[in-house]
Chain A
Amino acid sequence: MKSFPCIAAIEIGTAKTVVLVGEVLSKKRLNLIGMSEVPSKGIQKGEVIDFKAASEATHAALEAAEKSAKIHLEKIYLAQTGGHLQGFFHTGTVNVNSSDNIVSQSDIDRAIFEAKQKRLPEDRVYVHHIHNGFSLDDRQLLEPTGVQGQKLTAAYWSVHADTKRLRDTIHLLNGYGLTVADVMVSSVASAKMVTTSAERRSGSLVIDMGAGTTDYALYQDGFIIHTGVLPIGGDHITNDLSLAFRLDRARAELLKCDMGKACWLKEDQNETFWLLRDRSIGDRSFPKKALVAVIEARVKEIFQIIHKRIEPLVDFKQLSAGVVLTGGSALLPRMHMVAENVFGCPVRLGENPSWVRDDLRLPPYSTVLGLLTQALSEGSPFEHTKSTGSQPLWNRLAKMLHLTH
């Protein structure tokens, strides 16, 4: 047994399942002691479609992680994605109670409580309430305590999920005897990882392109004001290629990875590619333009859909930190060019911070790393910081008594 407490994070992706185990040295220091990466099974578009196959892959990943870290896991942090995730913006407004109109902690608590009150349909559950700051009589404030005013509003971006689908994922982990300590939306986890705090303040759109889904999160003034999931990802590019060139899935995937480019440039004019590359019957050469056209149509469409969804919220010209691409599919060459074309603002490929060890610095690991670092800062970092900083006594007591989590 290790002398330091350990935390683990898992991302059950469509293409791969990654588990990281870290040893908490202090509130801000983490030592990575275990990791495993296993190709996923039974997952499509980020959702479990074959529970048994998904269990096999997930449990294999967990076992490998336990072995590499030489510990037994009991709790784990889970990154959740999938088309069923939705979000909405909600505020809670209260009148400031005291006679001198100075905002007190209890006013803040009431406003936060109000903001989270919105009822969901039967089959939906909240995953996060992401804090979006306060406003006091139409003034935007980070910390309203002690300020004079009359109407206090707390704003939240609340993400909710389909109960059954979320339950499936949680039960995958329960099946291995683990308890899910917290669930985090993938886009939130990866966005934190690939952006700097300055970028988050000045506004940035992070697009995490996975195999099954494309997750995105929009930062403004340091807050995540919008998240979304598009159940379209790298797998769709593969599928498109397989249908366009009549290839089986494995060959289409290989073709995408080896030859795929997100957009066509003039310099590729005379390039051709061999379909099967073994010159067997049925192999033939095609102009590369056809290949790129299939991919570009898909990639462009993904960005266009996101653009359409984000447009009402933000002026892309004022999104000073621009767009950051991450996730496995973002590694496709010239992806940023297509994005730049669609969004009309600077686009860069995300990279995990330099303190991360080299092999994990690639975009495909940003979600699980983000998850682990969030887990390190413990609890829900999206809550209003004040209330997590000093937990009320009864919360802590309730935690001890296992009445709440």
Chain B
Amino acid sequence: MQTQLSFDCPEPIFPKVKIVALGGAGGQVLNRIALPIGWTQLWLDTDLRSLNATVNGGESLTLGLKTTAGFSCGGEIDLGRQAAEENKQDLLKAFEGVNLVVILTALAGGCGSGGIVPVVQAAKASGALVVVFAILPFSFEGTRRISIANQAIANLRSESVGIIPLSNAHLLEGSKGKIALDALALADEWVQNFLEIFTQVFLKPAYKTFDWKDLSSLFGEKFGKTIFGFGKGSGPEADDQALMDLLLCPLLHLPGDASRADRLLLWIRFSPDFPFEVLEEIASKVRNQFSATQDLRLAFAVNNDVKASIELMVLGVIDLQTPIQSIKTTMSVSRKVTSVVKPANSSRPDQKEFDFLADALNERGFFGKTPSQLVDGEDLDVPAYIRQKIRLQV
């Protein structure tokens, strides 16, 4: 297939973007990141007190005043759902005319895990494209939280949204050299990175290379797993370094799973001193790595501020309808979840492949199927270096 090179900079369309913080944790993240210009914010929580404490400009909405009387959901997923359902009309109104909704939430408590589905439904109902940043709990936070997260992701899967799971464990590992134990702060960093690049790629008029319609066609009707990753490189071997950085990006974790993308956007920003052949080489390497022979869209941007540096971003989708060889068997966890909770809007067939997410959730690798080996409250199937928070020098 031909790759589309869109160098001719068509007339930009400015989409309306709304960033939504759902629940306390989502609110904290939104609170700490710098927002691109022109983005509007929406704060959603059941906990009135926490909402008051975090809201920092923009709209805010207290969910489920009748259901929770202004208190938190206490980790009850059903309660969170009911609360969000209660305010569905308000949500529809809030999303009116918005083209892109970015939701920040943590899938461990009740509000985030339960409320996410009605919020997503409302946003979609008003015609917006939805991308969810889901912060997953630490494996050591206990199996209950992990199972809540699993359930929420399963529910979310039945909606057409881009989900970018932020696994705390991966974030910890990815934050080079830092000994910050605050997982949420790390999540901030990643979200910030994402938003920056996202705006660079899709929204910033000066470097407009992909329009947001590319995005909507990427996330089109057929929806699957989202692949998102980025990498940087500088110096004489900047291209190799950036590629490697991209492939090792924690968000692209488990190479087996992300090795095949049905639709892929590749965005490259480079310093003006880069030879063009190198860019072509990078593009073909990325295409091979992700087996994105079907549909690869390419965009370039030039960064005049630095020398000998290159940045890569991939955003892709793996369709779930097509059989995926590299993905092994269905997770028992996901099966359980889908059978217990019937997806509200299940127009698409059952979500079958789900394992790499679940693997990411509990970090148990190929022991995912076996019962946990709890010794002194620790699941020994989870790598010792993760539990002991040993930083790997990579």
A residues sitting closer than 8 Å to B (CB atoms) are 44-45, 49, 83, 230-232, 235-236, 239-240, 242-244, 246-249, 281-282, 284, 286-287, 289-290, 293-294, 297-298, 300-301, 305
Contact = CB atoms under 8 A, between A and B. Distances in A.
A231 B393 contact: no
B393 A240 contact: no
A305 B388 CA distance: 14
B367 A297 contact: no
Interface string B378-394: 00110111101010111
Given A244-B385, A244-B392, A281 B288 contact: yes
Given A240-B384, A243-B365, A290 B394 contact: yes
A28 to B, nearest CB: 40
A56 B369 CA distance: 21
List 10 tightest A-B contacts by C-beta distance, closest first.
A240-B383, A297-B384, A239-B365, A297-B385, A298-B384, A290-B392, A301-B384, A281-B289, A294-B385, A282-B247
Contact of B289 (A231, A282, A298): A282
B369 A49 contact: yes
Contacts of A249: 366
A301 to B, nearest CB: 5
Contacts of B288: 281
A240 B379 CA distance: 13
Contacts of A231: 373, 380
Contacts of B380: 230-232, 236, 301
Residue of B243, B366, B390 most packed against chain A (CB within 10 A): B366
A196 B383 CA distance: 36
A259 B120 CA distance: 48
Interface in B226-282: 243-244, 247-248, 253-256
A338 to B, nearest CB: 12
Contacts of A294: 383-385, 390, 392
Nearest to A301: B384
Contact of B367 (A44, A290, A293, A305): A44
Nearest to A247: B255
A281 B285 contact: yes
Interface in B338-394: 363-367, 369-370, 373, 375, 380-381, 383-386, 388, 390, 392-394
Given A83-B373, A232-B373, A294-B383, A246 B393 contact: no
A242 B365 CA distance: 8
B253 A246 contact: yes
Contacts of B254: 246
26 contacts: A230-B375, A231-B380, A236-B380, A236-B381, A236-B383, A239-B367, A239-B381, A239-B383, A243-B363, A243-B383, A244-B383, A246-B253, A246-B254, A248-B255, A249-B366, A281-B288, A284-B244, A289-B393, A293-B390, A297-B383, A297-B384, A297-B388, A297-B390, A298-B385, A301-B380, A301-B388
Given A45-B373, A239-B381, A281 B366 contact: no
Residue of A242, A243, A244, A282 most packed against chain B (CB within 10 A): A243
Interface in B35-92: none
Nearest to A305: B375
Contact of A246 (B255, B363, B381): B255
A287 B391 CA distance: 13
Contacts of A301: 380, 384, 388
A233 B255 CA distance: 25
B280 to A, nearest CB: 15
A83 B370 CA distance: 12
Contact of A45 (B244, B285, B370): B370
